[in-house]
């Protein structure tokens, strides 16, 4: 969530300043770019070299660079650079100055110059925190669209126990993550995605399968998660690994397993059926390995449940996206499937297009909507194709 986000951590003079080191570590771990501003008082509690080493950027304290060279630190440039400013720990003094609009430190000048969201994490003794002056100041900052990350209860530097200790660094970073997540286009949406092939068992060692790798469905799941959706991914037998806190992966083998998992997880805002589900399955599965005897061997097959068709018949609020892999008469076949299965969108792959379909890292698609309007897309990586599909789906959500 915080990868490549430009964050300013502004540290003021509280004993909790040492916790800035942990905040930087958590931000860096998530791939954020962090610049640290310190007030002069904060360097009594933690050294600039510690925070510079962790952030991998020089720490800025003053307007003028050291050595009397005439060089200065540009507070306007820095304020406009940031995607977010965190003031942590924020002392009663700095909070008061932010309210009044003082600019007697580099930190305050950056605060006044910035256009990005500002997060303020107070840290002070319990009576200072409870004082009406501090409370009024925090309310004013909040009314002016600053975000206050409330302090936590516990033992304070004074030895007193109460509210006033800086929120835990993990909680501060989680607050920021939540803020950025809430800005995402699919925030609050739940999406079910199926991916990969299915394996239809013949006996304990043999199965009927297909060449799907699962790459397209996994790319869709990852892009949905990046856009803030809660994703359930039902993945057929595939060698791909998926690791994201926002993707719940349910692994299945057969078309029947996939149908059961889809039914159990059907209560979603949208479903994307990217899996290549077997259309037929052996009528019976032998529990022992079948020995070779005759020259010819026929396996009686029976039709599987068409999962998407079932969804089309049972949908309430769900937007349904299907896939159609065709070799001839592509557009007409795909339009037929869209109507027959009561879909909102269908994504057509033609095996006539080089680089499209199974096993490849690329795909070339046409998206058709309910009004039979279609858009053609260039050959792209499956990650880029996932973006095109989700841009269309977002129009419907």
Nearest to ligand CTP of 57, 306 (CB atom)? 306
DSSP letter at 45 equals T
User: Chain centroid to CA 32: how far?
Assistant: 14
Among 9, 87, 252, 324, binds ligand CTP (CB under 6 A): 324
Under the criterion CB under 6 A, does residue 275 sit at the interface with ligand CTP?
yes
- Shorter beta-carbon distance to ligand CTP: residue 176 or 275: 275
Of 73, 187, 210, 342, the catalytic one is 210
**Strand partners for 195:** 235
Question: Which residue has 């059926």 as its token pair?
Answer: 273
The least CB distance from residue 277 to ligand CTP, in Å, is 4
Q: Torsion angle, CA of 54/171/113/106, rounded to 10 degrees?
A: -50
Q: What single-letter DSSP state applies at residue 152?
A: E
For ligand CTP, the closer of residues 151 and 217 by Cβ is 217
CB of 186 to ligand CTP, least distance (A): 20
Helix (H, G, I), strand (E, B) or coil at 71: coil
Distances (CA, A) of 85 to 34, 105, 124, 241: 10, 15, 20, 35
Applying the rule CB under 6 A, the residues between 293 and 312 that interact with ligand CTP are 304, 306-308
Residue located via tokens 């530097």: 157
Binders of ligand CTP in range 329-368 (CB under 6 A): 337
Residue 210 falls in the annotated catalytic set: yes
> 152 vs 306, which CB is nearer to ligand CTP?
306
For residues 293 and 317, the answer to whether their CB atoms sit within 8 Å is no
- Specify the stretch interacting with ligand CTP by CB under 6 A; choose among 16-24, 171-179, 223-231, 323-331: 323-331
Nearer to ligand CTP, 61 or 349 (CB): 349
Figure out which of the listed residues 38, 216, 277, 393 binds ligand CTP, where binding follows CB under 6 A: 277
Give least dist CB 185 to ligand CTP, A: 23
Contacts of 73 (CB under 8 A, 6+ apart): 60, 62, 63, 64, 65, 106
**Spatial distance between the Cα atoms of 395 and 319, rounded to a whole number of angstroms:** 11
Least CB distance to ligand CTP at residue 151 (A): 51
CA end-to-end span of the chain:
22
Count of residues in contact with ligand CTP, rule CB under 6 A: 14
Residues at the site binding ligand CTP, with contacts judged by CB under 6 A: 255, 273, 275, 277, 279, 304, 306-308, 322-325, 337
Catalytic residue list = 210
């Amino acid at each position: 969530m915080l990868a490549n986000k430009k964050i300013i951590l502004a540290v003021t003079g509280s004993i909790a300043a040492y916790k800035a080191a942990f905040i930087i570590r958590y931000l860096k771990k998530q791939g954020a770019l962090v610049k640290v501003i310190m007030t002069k008082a904060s360097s009594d509690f933690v050294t600039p070299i510690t925070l510079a080493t962790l952030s991998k950027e020089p720490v800025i304290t003053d307007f003028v660079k050291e050595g009397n060279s005439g060089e200065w630190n540009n507070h306007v440039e820095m304020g406009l650079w940031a995607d977010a400013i965190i003031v942590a720990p924020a002392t009663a003094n700095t909070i008061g100055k932010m309210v009044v609009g003082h600019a007697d430190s580099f930190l305050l000048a950056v605060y006044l110059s910035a256009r990005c969201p500002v997060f303020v994490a107070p840290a002070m003794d319990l009576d200072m925190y409870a004082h009406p002056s501090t409370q009024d100041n925090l309310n004013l900052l909040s009314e002016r669209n600053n975000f206050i990350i409330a302090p936590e209860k516990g033992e304070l530097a004074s030895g007193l126990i109460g509210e006033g200790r800086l929120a835990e660094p993990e909680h501060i970073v989680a607050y920021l993550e939540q803020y950025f997540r809430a800005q995402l286009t699919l925030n609050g949406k739940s999406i079910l995605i199926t991916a990969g092939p299915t394996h239809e068992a013949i006996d304990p060692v043999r199965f009927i399968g297909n060449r799907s790798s699962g790459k397209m469905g996994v790319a869709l799941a990852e892009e949905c998660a990046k856009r803030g959706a809660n994703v359930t991914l039902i993945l057929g037998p595939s060698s791909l690994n998926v690791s994201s806190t926002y993707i719940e992966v349910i692994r299945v083998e057969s078309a029947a397993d996939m149908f059961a998992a889809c039914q159990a997880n059907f209560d979603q805002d949208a479903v994307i059926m990217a899996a290549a589900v077997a259309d037929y399955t052996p009528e019976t599965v032998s529990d022992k390995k079948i020995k070779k005897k005759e020259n010819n061997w026929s396996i009686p097959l029976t039709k599987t449940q068409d999962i998407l068709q079932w969804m089309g018949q049972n949908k309430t609020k769900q937007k349904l996206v299907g896939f159609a892999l065709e070799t001839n008469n592509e557009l007409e076949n795909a339009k037929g499937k869209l109507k027959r299965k009561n879909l909102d969108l269908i994504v057509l792959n033609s095996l006539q297009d080089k680089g499209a379909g199974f096993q490849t890292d690329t795909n070339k698609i046409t998206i058709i909507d309910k009004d039979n309007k279609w858009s053609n897309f260039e050959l792209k990586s499956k990650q880029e194709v996932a973006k095109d599909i989700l841009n269309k789906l977002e129009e419907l959500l």
